[in-house]
Amino acid sequence: MLKTLLKEVKEYKRVSIVTPVFMIVEVLMETLIPFLMASIIDEGVNAGNMQHIYKVGGIMVVAAAVGLFAGLAGGRFGAKASAGFAKNLREAMFNHIQSFSFANIDHFSTAGLVTRMTTDVTNVQNAYMMTLRMFTRAPASMICAMVMAFAINARLASIYLVAVIILGTILFFIIRHATAYFRQAFPKYDDLNASVQENVSAIRVVKAYVREEQETSKFQKASENIYRIFVKAERNVIFNAPLMMTTVYTCIILISWLGAKMIISSTLTTGELMSLLAYCMNILSSLMMLSMVFVMISMSTASMQRISEVLNEESDLHNPADPVFEVKDGRIEFKNVEFAYKKDSKEPVLTDINLKIRSGETIGIIGGTGSAKTSLVNLVSRLYDVTKGEVLVGGRNVREYDMESLRNQVAVVLQKNVLFSGTILENLRWGNKNATDEECIEACKLACADEFIERFPKKYETYIEQGGTNVSGGQKQRLCIARAILKKPKILILDDSTSAVDTATDAKIRRAFRKEVPDTTKLIIAQRVSSVQDADRIIVMDEGRINGFGTHEELLETNEIYREVYESQTQGGGDFDEKAGE
C-alpha cells in the first residue's frame, strides 16, 4: 500500500527529503537555547559578568534566528511536498480510471470515487505533512531534550523518563480506541456524497414528486452517522490535553521541589534548574505532538487503503503485444459467444450468439427490456470482453486490435446520452477534434439537428449547460448522433438513440444514413418496430439469445414475438416486453 502511494511523490522527492532536515535543525536550535540560558544565569547574571551575557545572548539570538528560518523553511517545503503529493495522487487516480473497462468501473460507486479523490486524498495529504514535519520534529525534540536533561542532572531527568513511559502507555490506549472510530468514519463519506449526487442529478424528479423532505432526511441520516462516529472518537482524543497538562505540572512541581533542595545543597545551579524546566515542556509536548501524529496517520490509514484500491485495480482489457491498428471494414461476426458481467457468474447474460453482418449493412436490434441488446453491441467496440467465443470486426478478433484504433472506428451513441458543458461545436468535436465548422454542420444535417440549432440565437455557439439540461431529450439525442457521425466510423451503433425523437424525424435520420453513409455498418437498437423495419436485417433478442434474424417480411412470417409486437404497435400500444401469447 505505502509503496503504491509513495510512487506518486515523484518530482517532490527533493522537498520531501529537505523538510525533515530543516525540522531537525529547528529542534537543535530549540534544544540549544535553554542550555545557553543556563549559562547566562550561572556564569553571567550570578557572576555579574556582562561580557558573558552579551556573548551568549548574541549566540542565543543567532540560534533563535536559525531556528526560525529552519521552521519557516520546513513549513514551506513541507506544504509544497504534501500538496504536490496530493496533486499527483489525484492525477494518478483520474488517469488510472480512464484506463478502466466498464467491468472495472462497476467495482466502484461514483460517490466512492469522488470521496477517494477528495476527502481521502486530503487525509493522506495531512498525514504526509505531519509525517515530514511533526513525525521528525517530535521524536528529535524529545530525544535531544532528554539527552540534554540527563547531561545536566541524571537524577532529576529520570522524572521525565518515568513520566514519558506512563504518559506514552496511556496515550497508546487512547489512540488505539480513537483510531478504531476514525477508520469507521471515512467510508461513511461515500454515503454522504452518494446522497448529494443522487439528489442533485435527479433534482427535477425530486421536485416533481415533492420529495424534498425525504431527501433531506436521507442526507441528515448520512451526516448524522459521520457526526456520531467523530463524537465517539473525539471523546477519546480529548483526554490527551488534560492528561498532558497534569503530567507537565506534576513534573514541574517535582523538579522545582527536588531542584530547590539540590540548589540549597549546592549540587544544582539555578540556571540548570531553569533549563530542566524548559526541557520538561519540550519532552512532554513532543510526546503529545507524537501522539497526535499517530492519530492522524491512523485516521489516514483507511484513506490510504481506499486510494491504493483504485491505483492497484488492473483493467480487465489490455492491448495485445503486437496490436493491429487498421480496421479494414465494417464486417462483424460473433462466433459461439457467451458473455457474463462477472467471471464467476453462473448465468451468462448472452448465450450461444452466432451472427454474421456484412460491411455497410443496416441491422436493427429489437427485444424486450433485459434481453441483452446493449450487452451485445458493447462487445463490438470491446467495452467488455466475451467470456467464451470470439467477436470479429473487419475479419479480425477484436482482442487483436489496438483498443484506441478499434474504438475510433466504432462510434457508439449510448442509451444514456451525455453532453458536456461548452458550446454545441465543442460538444460535436468530441467526435473529431479537428473537424471544421462545415463538417460539424453537415453531421448535424444528417442527424436532423440543424433544424433546431438554427433557431437558437447563437446557433452553433449556443452554450450547453452541464449534462445538456438546456436542451430537450430529443435534441440531446440528435446532437449525440451528429457527434458520432463526425468520427466517420466504419461501424455506427445507435443504442435506442432515437427514443425521444418523433417518428417523422426518426425516419429522416434513417433515410439520411442510407443515402449519405452507405459504407458504414449501422446497428440500431430500438423499441419501435417502425425504427428498424426498413433495415437490411433485424435481430430479435430474447433473454440473452437470438430469437430471430432476418428481414422485416421474413420475421413477420417466421417469428412469433416480432409478429405479435408489430401487430400490437400498428394497432397502438404494443411493446416488446409484452411477449407473444401472454
- The region of weakest confidence among 100-109, 141-150, 535-544 is 100-109
Res 69: pLDDT: 93
Rounded mean pLDDT, 280-303: 76
- pLDDT tens-digit readout, 353-397: 898 999 888 898 888 878 888 888 888 888 888 888 999 998 889
Indicate the residue type of 570. T
CA-nearest of 35, 279, 294 to 145 is 279
pTM beyond 0.75: no
Please say if the pLDDT value at position 70 is more than 80: yes
CA distance 331 to 324: 16
For 12, 140, 150, 240, 312, the CA distances from 137, given in Å and listed in that order, are 20, 5, 20, 19, 33
CA distance 498 to 448: 11
CA distance 365 to 387: 21
Percentage above 70 pLDDT, the chain: 97
Please report the domains of the chain, with CATH numbers, ordered by start residue. 2-312 (1.20.1560.10), 332-571 (3.40.50.300)
CA-nearest of 385, 392, 349 to 541 is 349
Res 18: pLDDT: 92
Rounded mean pLDDT, 85-93: 91
- pLDDT tens-digit readout, 512-535: 777 777 788 888 888 888 888 888
Res 98: pLDDT: 82
Res 580: pLDDT: 44
- pLDDT tens-digit readout, 184-227: 776 777 778 778 877 877 787 888 888 888 888 888 888 888 88
Paired strand residues for 357? 332
Neighbours of 527 (CB within 10 A): 20
CA-nearest of 454, 338, 434 to 389 is 338
Query: Could you tell me how far CA 124 lies from the centroid of its own chain?
Result: 13
Contacts of 245 (CB under 8 A, 6+ apart): none
Question: Cell triple for residue 206?
Answer: 425530486
Res 532: pLDDT: 83
Neighbours of 142 (CB within 10 A): 22
Percentage above 90 pLDDT, the chain: 6
- The region of weakest confidence among 94-98, 229-233, 385-389 is 229-233
Rounded mean pLDDT, 410-414: 82
Please say if the pLDDT value at position 496 is more than 70: yes
Q: How confident is the model at residue 572 (pLDDT cuts 50, 70, 90)?
A: low
> Of residues 417 and 378, which shows the higher confidence score?
378
Tell whether the torsion through CA atoms of 121, 127, 130 and 133 is positive or negative: negative
Paired strand residues for 463? 423
